[in-house]
Amino acid sequence: MQNKSVIGFIGAGNMAYALIKGLINNGYGAENIKVSDLDESLLNSRNSELGIDTFTNNSDLISVCDVIVLAVKPQVMSSVCKGLQGAVKSSHLFISIAAGIRANDICRWLGGDLALVRTMPNTPALVQQGATGLFANDLVSEEHKQIVTSILSAIGDCFWVGEEKLIDAITAISGSGPAYFFLMMQSMTQAGMALGLDEKTASALSVKTALGASVMAANSDDDPKQLRANVTSPNGTTQAAVESFQDQNFEGIVANATRAAYDRAHELSIQLGDVD
Ligand SMILES: NC(=O)c1ccc[n+]([C@@H]2O[C@H](COP(=O)([O-])OP(=O)(O)OC[C@H]3O[C@@H](n4cnc5c(N)ncnc54)[C@H](OP(=O)(O)O)[C@@H]3O)[C@@H](O)[C@H]2O)c1
């Protein structure tokens, strides 16, 4: 990565760890990464494993950083941001990875109009296979966007959207999406056991098949619809299963579930932002 901005993480938990580890693995210098947290033992372990400077005071951290990643839980975001007022500079670039919190609410809590990118990562970020949605407010420049893309690319692929409400759609597809695939694997494991396989074998077959299908879909020029057609011989076993899924409105079930996630994301962003 060419950019050598000093990046400060507020919150040293799971997501910050995944991002910092990804950045260092991609060649970003540990001397340009800092982190703050309330938990000193966690900071000590991040320092000894990753070689990064640590802070117990968030304002001290941001005073030595150009880019600030807000990596705390949504419930504490308002108090963390308000605690930074006074240390915030207009040159700072903020990145929020907190689920559900709108850009305007974060800027209000920080005390001004600031360059801020709101992101929605997902849990495969923890194994550097994430899909992250990103929305930039009006003060974010093209150069800022390149910096943010280079940081979030450390945990997977980045997808920019031009309207903030699309972050709720991203939440419904990739944010909550890993759980849908886990549910599918769980259901296939149970189905395999009902057909006589032992649990260990049924589970391993389900997980490996999900991984194989995903790698094929990610690497193929064909879209998933075509890939499915390619493995569905007329009157074969796959066709029998797919017809059974479709008789029970599989596409409609998925559409309803993702709409429920979208509506809940919208509701939560109103609740979480409704704090002075
Ligand atoms: N994990 C995911 O897969 C995922 C996916 C998408 C989005 N996100 C978002 O990523 C953010 C971080 O999630 P996470 O899983 O990394 O959470 P986490 O492991 O709980 O990390 C958050 C860290 O922030 C610390 N913290 C709390 N209050 C603080 C304060 N005032 N100043 C500094 N640090 C403070 C916490 O300490 P304590 O534990 O002592 O409170 C904890 O170490 C969340 O907003 C979440 O919505 C996570």
Ligand 1 centroid – CA 101 distance (Å):
13
Ligand 1 atom 9 nearest Cα: 98
The Cα–Cα gap between 55 and 40 comes to 9
Looking at residue 4, its pLDDT comes to 80
Looking at residue 1, its pLDDT comes to 40
The Cα–Cα gap between 122 and 175 comes to 5
Q: Is 122 in the pocket of ligand 1 (CB under 6 A)?
A: yes
The Cα–Cα gap between 64 and 85 comes to 15
Q: Is 118 in the pocket of ligand 1 (CB under 6 A)?
A: no
User: 149-169 burial string, b = 16+ CB within 10 Å, else e?
Assistant: ebbbbbbbebbebeeeeebbb
Cross-strand pairs, 207 = none
Looking at residue 2, its pLDDT comes to 43
The Cα–Cα gap between 180 and 231 comes to 22
Q: Is 176 in the pocket of ligand 1 (CB under 6 A)?
A: no
Length of the chain: 276
Atom of ligand 1 nearest to the CA of 96: 45
Q: Answer yes or no: are the C-beta atoms of 17 and 78 closer than 8 Å.
A: no
SS3 labels along 39-81? CHHHHHHHHHHHCCEEECCHHHHHCCCCEEEECCCHHHHHHHH
Q: Which long-range contacts (CB under 8 A, 24 or more apart) does 28-31 make?
A: 28/1, 28/154, 29/4
Ligand 1 centroid – CA 71 distance (Å):
5
Looking at residue 175, its pLDDT comes to 94
The Cα–Cα gap between 20 and 9 comes to 9
Ligand 1 centroid – CA 123 distance (Å):
13
Ligand 1 centroid – CA 209 distance (Å):
32
Q: Is 131 in the pocket of ligand 1 (CB under 6 A)?
A: no
Q: Which residue from 21, 34, 37, 271 has its CB within 8 A of the most atoms of ligand 1, so it is best to mutate?
A: 37
Ligand 1 atom 27 nearest Cα: 72
The correct answer on CATH 3.40.50.720 for the domain covering 7-167 is yes
Task: Return the CATH number of 177-265, one of 1.20.58.1030, 1.10.10.10, 1.10.3730.10, 1.25.40.10.
Answer: 1.10.3730.10
Query: What is the helix (H) or strand (E) element at residue 121, kind and residue range?
Result: none
**What is the per-residue pLDDT across 19-56, written as a single tens digit (0 to 9) for each?**
999 999 989 999 999 999 999 999 999 999 999 999 99
Q: Is 12 in the pocket of ligand 1 (CB under 6 A)?
A: yes
Looking at residue 54, its pLDDT comes to 98
Q: For the chain, which residues make up each domain, given as ranges?
A: 7-167, 177-265
φ, ψ of residue 34 to 5 degrees: the values are: -130, 160
Looking at residue 3, its pLDDT comes to 59
Q: Single out the residue of 104, 110, 101, 54 nearest to residue 83, CA to CA.
A: 110
Looking at residue 115, its pLDDT comes to 97
Ligand 1 centroid – CA 18 distance (Å):
12
SS3 label, residue 222:
coil
Cross-strand pairs, 95 = 69, 117
Tokens of 116: 């801020």
Ligand 1 centroid – CA 119 distance (Å):
14
Ligand 1 centroid – CA 42 distance (Å):
12
Cross-strand pairs, 161 = 135
Residue numbers of the chain with a pLDDT score lower than 50: 1-2
